[in-house]
Amino acid sequence: MPTAGGPRVLLRRLREIMAEQTSAQMRLDKLVTVIASNMVAEVCSIYLRRAGKLLELYATEGLNRSAVHNTRLKEGEGLVGLVSETAEAVNLSDAPADPHFSYRPETGEDPFKAFLGVPIVRGGQVFGVLTVQNKAERVYAEEEVEALQTVAMVLAEVVAQGGFFNIAELDEPELRIDRPRKFMGEGLSEGVASGRVVLHEPRVKVERMIADNPVEELKRLEEAIGGLRESVDQMLMSSELDLTGEGREVIEAYRLFAYDQGWRQRMRDAVRTGLTAEAAVERVQDETRLRVQRLGDPILRERAHDFDDLARRLLRHLTGESGHQVLPHDSILVARNMGPAELLDYGREKLLALALEDAAATSHVAIVARSMGLPMVSGLEGISDNARGGDAIAVDGETGEVHLRPQTEILNAFEEKRALRQKAQARFAAIRELPAITKDGVPIRLMMNAGLEFDMPHLAESGADGIGLFRTELQFMLGETMPRLADQTQFYKSIFDAAGDKPVVFRTLDLGGDKVLPYARWEREENPALGWRAIRIALDRPALLRYQVRALLVAAQGRTLRILLPMVSDVDEFNRGRALIDRELERARLLHQTRPTQVLVGAMLEVPALAFMLPQLMRSADFVSIGSNDLLSLAFAVDRTNPRVAKRYDSLNPASLTLIRLIVQSAAENSGDLSLCGEMAGRPLDAMALLGLGLRTLSMQPGQIGPIKMMIRSLNLGEVSDFVDRLCGRTDHSLRTRLAAFAAERGIVLK
């Protein structure tokens, strides 16, 4: 079955569709129609990868349109799943007779016998599967397979770059090249760092995928291969390298790869299908890397590194790029592997850490990294293909955890850990074990905020009295699938174990707004901060809350469990949330499970309306925690993500202090347990004002506890309370200057 217009015609048509200003779905629908027509196929379908390694039918020509977005296959399930799992083309004359075939009646594919499926691959990652089908039994010709692979390669590039699909419109985090990624490896050199990615061998960006003149592209390819071979020959002849013995054997083997005729011919064949020389190099290298990864042979994997290096060098010959980089001051080096000399070439001045795919604890590069004092993590499979130069990255050389394009909360957590390690200021260390008591004898409880397991060592390092806010949603946001009950239980138990006798307040899932699960479909909202989030989601999807509470109850066996419900707007919401918790407690009783010795349920006061309902709330809630960030944002109608207004109103505005004073007084009148967590608690001047308003428990980032404790031990709280009370009646835009002057006059330590 020859193609109707040839692969070049198809690629030109694809380029036209890519440029059209229509919806993603319309472009997908048009694309499958064009491919089917060009290849004289009765069916053409595109399946794209979703979170959890699911493949969803996104567009089809020839199958039932009602199956689009309704048919899903797991990786390895059916012929489509087989293509995705193996990253290899599947070409069958009688597909229904194959044991891998998975019958899906909603698609209406019963009449079709012949099947050809190819993976949509880029950078070693399978983004989906492209298929064609025909009724007649036949095996597709080699040139047809080649043509479909070429289309899939171009399709993968534009999916990954976001240049074809409107990712926001599709709302598929799994397909986003810029989504946050977590990698777990082995820490080879201690330390914590956050900064910007510098690729040791940066991927050469291919701007042009489709060739205008294949003859010219073949000529360019041949010239570049000639230049590459010449440079390798010069490397062997160079007197500067002094290559002997094993070192020379390595370079000799490298030279054989450069002269490999099979490698050269595969690239030439790719160009003949209509790709540019650069795109042909990338396609062949992607295919080589995937084949080696599937084999799992360590020797072959090492050889694959050589081919990767050759491909990068060849692309530089084609593009004229030198590969020379100017390092920013906060560089974190990302590489597949590298030698000690290469690391030393970068120097220590601007390099903060090292993240490698392949290196052992005893390797020379690890030894050099430790001697340079660089945090280093290895065993990070796939990080080189997923990282881009300039991406934010955080590296923990102790736990082996690396976050690429991390969420703000995670980046903040790394920064706190780094700050605690680097500063270790003697004056804070000297008072770490001393109580936070004012000069006039008033004790203050200083708690820390957390959200990840590696936050827990801060509890002892900072001298905190406990964890006043543990953000449980971070565990859900890091993975590509919903954490299983057993995983949640084990995670919460590890937090309890690390905390020992100190209390931990677990906030239930605070999702919505800017906190979106990568494996969930979320509707875009005009104002997400005021939309469907936190307890509103929990009450509409009660199974989510009950599932989490079930894990917490098991993890807290024999201990006190403190649960905090976020974003409560009225007492009824709190009561309904508590009722769900009580149902799980009753379930545990009926199943004769060992339960916590005590379950305390609190409300997070972030919505101003709840401030006027505290007497009623205190009859139901065991404690209340003021979330100062959202509370003041909502009180002043400020979008904190909008730079035009984010800093317009000061947290030390008279209105802020008056509102918090109202809450403190109401809680005191009703004998309520009240605390505050948020940025205010961790700023010494703000915290001084909060103490003056009557708050006695503050929760903050662990690195802030030392400065806050020093401030507390230097003040007379009676004087502060009188002064702050008078300030509430003023009309200043900010009371910050007056509070700072008061502190300076009385020798209160704010730094």
Rounded distance between C-alpha atoms, residue 268 and residue 603, angstroms: 66
Q: Which residues pair with 744 in a beta bridge?
A: none
329 an active-site residue?
Answer: no
pLDDT mean over 653-671:
94
Q: What is the pLDDT of residue 520?
A: 59
Place of tokens 């534009």: 158
Q: Quick check: 600 and 645 in contact, CB under 8 A?
A: no
> What DSSP designation does 404 have?
E
- Counting every residue, how long is the chain? 751
SS3 309: helix
- Mean pLDDT (the chain) is 83
Between residues 602 and 270, the one the model is more confident about: 602
SS3 511: coil
Q: What is the pLDDT of residue 13?
A: 80
Superfamily of domain covering 408-745: Phosphoenolpyruvate-binding domains (3.20.20.60)
Q: What percent of the chain has pLDDT over 90?
A: 41
Which pLDDT tens digit goes with each residue over 300-355?
A: 555 555 666 677 778 878 877 655 567 788 899 998 777 655 676 676 677 889 99
Q: Quick check: 674 and 664 in contact, CB under 8 A?
A: yes
Crossing angle for the helix pair 736-745 and 684-693, to the nearest 10 degrees: 90
| HEC sequence for 608-660 | HHHHCCHHHHHCCCCEEEEEHHHHHHHHCCCCCCCCCCCCCCCCCCHHHHHHH
Q: How confident is the model at residue 147 (pLDDT cuts 50, 70, 90)?
A: confident
Q: What is the pLDDT of residue 242?
A: 45
Show the tokens assigned to 586.
């009753």
> Is the pLDDT reported for residue 691 higher than 90?
yes
Rounded distance between C-alpha atoms, residue 54 and residue 57, angstroms: 10
CATH number for the domain formed by residue range(s) 181-202+327-404 = 3.50.30.10
Place of tokens 């699911």: 54
Domain borders along the chain are: 6-175, 181-202+327-404, 214-319, 408-745
Q: What is the pLDDT of residue 362?
A: 45
Which pLDDT tens digit goes with each residue over 61-114?
A: 999 999 999 999 988 899 999 999 888 899 999 999 999 999 899 999 889 999
44 an active-site residue?
Answer: no
Four-residue CA torsion sign, 145, 52, 354, 516? positive
Q: In what order do the strands lie in the sheet with 392-396?
A: 181-184, 401-404, 392-396, 192-199, 331-335, 351-356, 376-378, 186-189
Which pLDDT tens digit goes with each residue over 6-43?
A: 666 777 787 787 777 777 788 888 889 988 988 889 99
Superfamily of domain covering 214-319: PtsI, HPr-binding domain (1.10.274.10)
Which fold is adopted by the domain 6-175?
A: Beta-Lactamase (3.30.450)
DSSP assignments along 204-246, one per residue: PP----B-S-HHHHHHHHHHHHHHHHHHHHHHHH-TTT---HH
> Is the pLDDT reported for residue 196 higher than 50?
yes
* pTM for this predicted structure: 0.59
| CB contact set of 347 (below 8 Å; sequence gap of 6+) | none
Could you say which of 44, 200, 458, 677 is catalytic? 677
Q: What is the pLDDT of residue 173?
A: 46
Could you say which of 69, 364, 403, 733 is catalytic? 364
Q: Quick check: 72 and 55 in contact, CB under 8 A?
A: yes
> What DSSP designation does 361 have?
T
First to last CA, the chain: 78
Rounded distance between C-alpha atoms, residue 740 and residue 743, angstroms: 5
- C-alpha Rg value of the chain to the nearest Å: 30
Q: What is the pLDDT of residue 106?
A: 92
Q: What is the pLDDT of residue 260?
A: 74
pLDDT mean over 648-676:
94
